[in-house]
């Protein structure tokens, strides 16, 4: 395409400022699921893997209580279960040492190495108990990849009762593959549990909190809400594997770990307190999801002992306890610090309520009689006791099909305010379905598009996929009255530990690479509007390749245009602001901010390399009617800041 060809406008967009439709103020959020090592080994800053010796073959076939640990010198080890620290935390390590034999102890390599940064402070802690003999002081060391001593400290000898010992260490050098070694002197046996090493500089300095750089990248998305902890993780693989929020709050040594349905381990170190705290820290509305009393329909229930296949429901006799746990969650989040659960939240460090407003019940469940009965029981109880809470229903895993249809019918029957719809499709599907929500019944339940992502060939995070999502997001803005929340899924994927692709953010122990889709999500979030403005679109030959939205944002009334093109060639656009004067009695600025994301449609941001496809910002001249060239394969955001005339 030559510049001459582009002299003639090919498409025309005429804004109709008089036709404004409100957009939900929660439209663009994030969905966190503990898969792909998103929690342990990921967002949770804990550096020791299997510090509680709870790993077992139920997590992963090859694993046992010593996974991630290496023994030093001649010592004996056994799994202890008598008189544990807490019934929820049943296993610990029994170590027999003979100090006369040289260095004895054990060493943890974290999640494929511990990342240390020079001069940074790390808090080491563990619970220890002397069982027999005379064990001397405990020595804790941080060792570099080649064995260099990077930090060390001495802790008091074990006492006959469990005692937590703590010390702060400073790393003398950077190391990506460091280890944490514990050495014991004397002769005897001891019990060890909850071995922990966390950077002191966590996100917002929360003790034992989140990995700062990774949490910051999530925060930089400016998500209006955060859904957690899943996904399929919520309903679990078998009834015994359901996610029980109440097992994830309180002191960490009292939390109950369990196998993660994605074939690894969830320690519960990143639990409900941390999720809610994170939401508060990043200004996101919390959206926890609880099981609807049924397990994952794909379950094989290897954890329950009894062989289950397909969806199973909690026995009806167990439903009152399950419902009570849901009500307890609401009290824990919102109750005064004088209420039983509110008091527990206060003890944990948050006396004021978290302000829970939304509660997801169920995830992609099959809409069977077993599901309906249990969902209805939970819904009725929440509605009766907490009418202020909006329950979010579920309509199956796909944007069509039997569960989708039955789920919607059930939601209408119950009069639900909101349902969680999912859809992972190839890029072309999103382009072909831009009108999907235009046709939704405005009188029925509203939509939370809880999981979506374009799945390109090889499930790669391509620009083509990201642009399909961008196009779809313009349609979400247009339907921001009925689609009130939407979240790309999943959020995090750890290199070498990926059960699912594509993801929004890729990371390892030290590096983070946002996908191209990340920048799309971020641009829509940073440039969200509160009103959608109708526009007349004359797209000519490009009708199938261009998607447009025009929104007004904030009290100032900025005008934001989003233009997505999947055309192979640049397109000359005429943009007519429809006589719009910005900012009430305001004036049109002579220039607008223009942010463009474009490139080879098959490009990806290669992990570990500098992202190749990132937003490029510039200033462009604007007028009541102006020209702009949309690059091939691009998302363009044009923001006209309203300026007051006075
Ligand atoms: O996002 C990954 C998975 O996709 C979720 O766990 C599940 O809800 C969906 O099928």
Query: How much is the pLDDT for 229?
Result: 98
Q: Quick: pLDDT tens for 163-197.
A: 999 999 999 999 999 999 999 999 999 999 999 99
Residue 585 pLDDT exceeds 80: no
Q: Quick: pLDDT tens for 467-504.
A: 999 999 999 999 999 999 999 999 999 999 999 999 99
Residue 341 pLDDT exceeds 80: yes
Pocket test for ligand 1, best of 364, 449, 492 (most atoms within 8 A of CB): 364
Cβ atoms of 488 and 521 closer than 8 Å: yes
Distance of CA 471 to the CA centre of its chain: 23
Q: Quick: pLDDT tens for 127-170.
A: 999 999 999 999 999 999 999 999 999 999 999 999 999 999 99
Cβ atoms of 379 and 293 closer than 8 Å: no
| Mean pLDDT (the chain, rounded) | 94
Q: What Cα–Cα distance (Å) separates residue 365 from each residue in 289, 395, 405, 609?
A: 13, 7, 13, 39
Cβ atoms of 438 and 476 closer than 8 Å: no
Query: How much is the pLDDT for 30?
Result: 98
Q: Quick: pLDDT tens for 591-638.
A: 999 999 999 999 999 999 999 999 999 999 999 999 999 999 999 999
Query: How much is the pLDDT for 583?
Result: 46
**3-state SS track over 211-258:** CHHHHHHHHCCCCCEEEECCCHHHHCCCHHHCCCHHHHCCCHHHCCCE
Query: How much is the pLDDT for 6?
Result: 65
Least confident of 4-18, 92-106, 442-456, 623-637: 4-18
- CA–centroid distance, 563 to ligand 1, in Å, is 29
Cβ atoms of 448 and 419 closer than 8 Å: yes
Helix (H) / strand (E) element for 141: namely strand 121-143
Q: What atom in ligand 1 is closest to the CA of residue 233?
A: 6
Atom 4 of ligand 1 has which residue's CA nearest to it? 231
Q: What average pLDDT does this structure show over 208-215?
A: 97
Cβ atoms of 385 and 315 closer than 8 Å: no
Cβ atoms of 68 and 108 closer than 8 Å: yes
Residue 306 pLDDT exceeds 60: no
- CA–centroid distance, 301 to ligand 1, in Å, is 18
- Residue 453 CA to residue 473 CA, distance in Å, equals 11
Query: How much is the pLDDT for 4?
Result: 47
Q: Quick: pLDDT tens for 383-414.
A: 999 999 999 999 999 999 999 999 999 999 99
Report which of 325, 316, 304 is spatially closest to residue 237, judged by C-alpha positions: 304
Query: How much is the pLDDT for 308?
Result: 58
Cβ atoms of 114 and 177 closer than 8 Å: yes
- Residue 143 CA to residue 513 CA, distance in Å, equals 27
Reported pTM: 0.96
Strand-by-strand arrangement of the 512-514 sheet = 492-494, 505-507, 512-514
Atom 5 of ligand 1 has which residue's CA nearest to it? 231
Q: What average pLDDT does this structure show over 305-322?
A: 84
- CA–centroid distance, 327 to ligand 1, in Å, is 25
Atom 9 of ligand 1 has which residue's CA nearest to it? 231
Question: How large is the angle between the packed helices 402-414 and 369-385, nearest 10 degrees?
Answer: 30
Residue 68 pLDDT exceeds 70: yes
- CA–centroid distance, 472 to ligand 1, in Å, is 19
Kindly state the tokens that stand for 542: 């490009």
Cβ atoms of 641 and 561 closer than 8 Å: no
Pocket around ligand 1: residues whose beta carbon is below 6 Å from it? 33, 230-232, 363-364, 397, 451, 489-490, 500
- 102 DSSP assignment: S
The fraction of the chain above a pLDDT of 90, given in percent, is 90
Residue 309 pLDDT exceeds 80: no
- Residue 14 CA to residue 574 CA, distance in Å, equals 8
Cβ atoms of 241 and 259 closer than 8 Å: yes
Phi–psi pair at 137, nearest 5 degrees = -60, 150
Residue 644 — very low, low, confident or very high, per pLDDT cuts 50/70/90? low
Residue 3 — very low, low, confident or very high, per pLDDT cuts 50/70/90? very low
Active-site residue list: 364
Q: What average pLDDT does this structure show over 575-586?
A: 68
Q: What atom in ligand 1 is closest to the CA of residue 489?
A: 1
Atom 6 of ligand 1 has which residue's CA nearest to it? 231
In the chain, how many H helices and how many E strands?
Answer: 10, 31
- CA–centroid distance, 233 to ligand 1, in Å, is 8
- 210 DSSP assignment: B
Q: Quick: pLDDT tens for 510-553.
A: 999 999 999 999 999 999 999 999 999 999 999 999 999 999 99
Helix (H) / strand (E) element for 30: namely strand 28-31
Alpha helices in 31-101 (DSSP H): none
**3-state SS track over 352-389:** CCCCCCEEEECCCCCCCHHHHHHHHHHHHHHHHHCCCC
């Amino acid at each position: 395409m030559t510049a001459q060809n582009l002299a003639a406008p090919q498409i025309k967009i005429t804004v109709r400022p008089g036709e404004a439709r409100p957009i939900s103020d929660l439209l663009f959020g994030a969905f966190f699921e503990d898969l792909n090592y998103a929690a342990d080994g990921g967002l949770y800053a804990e550096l020791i893997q299997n510090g509680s010796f709870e790993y077992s073959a139920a997590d992963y076939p090859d694993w046992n209580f010593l996974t991630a640990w290496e023994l030093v010198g001649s010592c004996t080890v056994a799994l202890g279960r008598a008189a544990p620290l807490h019934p929820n935390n049943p296993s610990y390590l029994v170590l027999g040492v003979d100090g006369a034999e040289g260095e004895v102890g054990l060493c943890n390599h974290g999640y494929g190495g511990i990342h240390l940064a020079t001069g940074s402070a790390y808090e080491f802690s563990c619970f220890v108990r002397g069982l027999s003999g005379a064990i001397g002081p405990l020595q804790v060391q941080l060792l570099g990849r080649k064995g260099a001593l990077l930090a060390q400290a001495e802790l008091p000898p074990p006492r006959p009762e469990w005692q937590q010992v703590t010390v702060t260490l400073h790393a003398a050098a950077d190391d990506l593959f460091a280890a944490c070694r514990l050495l014991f002197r004397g002769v005897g046996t001891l019990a060890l549990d909850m071995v922990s090493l966390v950077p002191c500089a966590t996100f917002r300095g929360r003790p034992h909190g989140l990995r700062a750089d990774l949490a910051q990248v999530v925060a930089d998305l400016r998500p209006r809400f955060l859904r957690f902890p899943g996904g399929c993780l919520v309903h679990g693989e078998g009834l015994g594997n359901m996610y029980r929020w109440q097992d994830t709050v309180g002191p960490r040594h009292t939390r109950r770990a369990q196998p993660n349905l994605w074939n690894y381990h969830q320690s519960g170190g990143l639990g409900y307190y941390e999720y809610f705290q994170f939401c508060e820290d990043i200004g996101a509305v919390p959206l926890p999801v609880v099981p609807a009393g049924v397990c994952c329909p794909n379950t094989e229930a290897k954890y329950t002992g009894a062989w289950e296949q397909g969806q199973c429901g909690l026995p009806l006799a167990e439903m009152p306890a399950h419902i009570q746990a849901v009500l307890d969650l609401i009290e824990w989040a919102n109750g005064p610090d004088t209420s039983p659960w509110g008091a527990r939240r206060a003890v944990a460090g948050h006396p004021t309520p978290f302000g829970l407003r939304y509660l997801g019940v169920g995830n992609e469940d099959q809409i069977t009689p077993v599901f309906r009965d249990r969902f209805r029981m939970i819904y009725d109880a929440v509605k009766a006791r907490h009418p202020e809470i909006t329950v979010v229903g579920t309509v199956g895993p796909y944007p069509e099909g039997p569960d989708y249809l039955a789920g919607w019918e059930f939601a209408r029957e119950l009069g639900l305010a909101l349902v969680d719809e999912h859809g992972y499709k190839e890029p072309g599907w999103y382009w072909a379905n831009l009108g999907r929500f235009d046709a939704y019944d405005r009188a029925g339940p509203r939509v939370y598009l809880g999981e979506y992502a374009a799945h390109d060939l090889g499930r790669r995070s391509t620009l083509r996929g990201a642009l399909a999502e961008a196009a779809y997001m313009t349609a979400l803005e247009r339907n921001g009255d009925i689609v009130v929340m939407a979240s790309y899924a999943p959020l995090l994927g750890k290199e070498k530990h990926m059960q699912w692709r594509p993801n929004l953010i890729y990371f390892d122990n030290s590096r983070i690479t946002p996908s191209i889709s990340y920048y799309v999500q971020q641009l829509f979030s940073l440039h969200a509007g509160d009103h959608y403005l109708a526009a007349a679109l004359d797209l000519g030959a490009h009708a199938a390749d261009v998607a447009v939205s025009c929104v007004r944002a904030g009290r100032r009334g900025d005008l934001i245009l989003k233009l997505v093109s999947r055309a192979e060639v640049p397109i000359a656009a005429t943009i007519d602001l429809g006589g719009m004067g910005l900012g009430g009695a305001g004036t049109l600025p002579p220039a607008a901010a223009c942010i463009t994301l474009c490139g080879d449609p098959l490009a990806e941001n290669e992990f570990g390399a500098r992202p190749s496809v990132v937003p490029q910002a510039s200033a462009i001249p604007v007028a009541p009617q102006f020209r702009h060239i949309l690059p091939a394969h691009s998302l363009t955001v044009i923001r006209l800041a309203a300026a007051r005339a006075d």
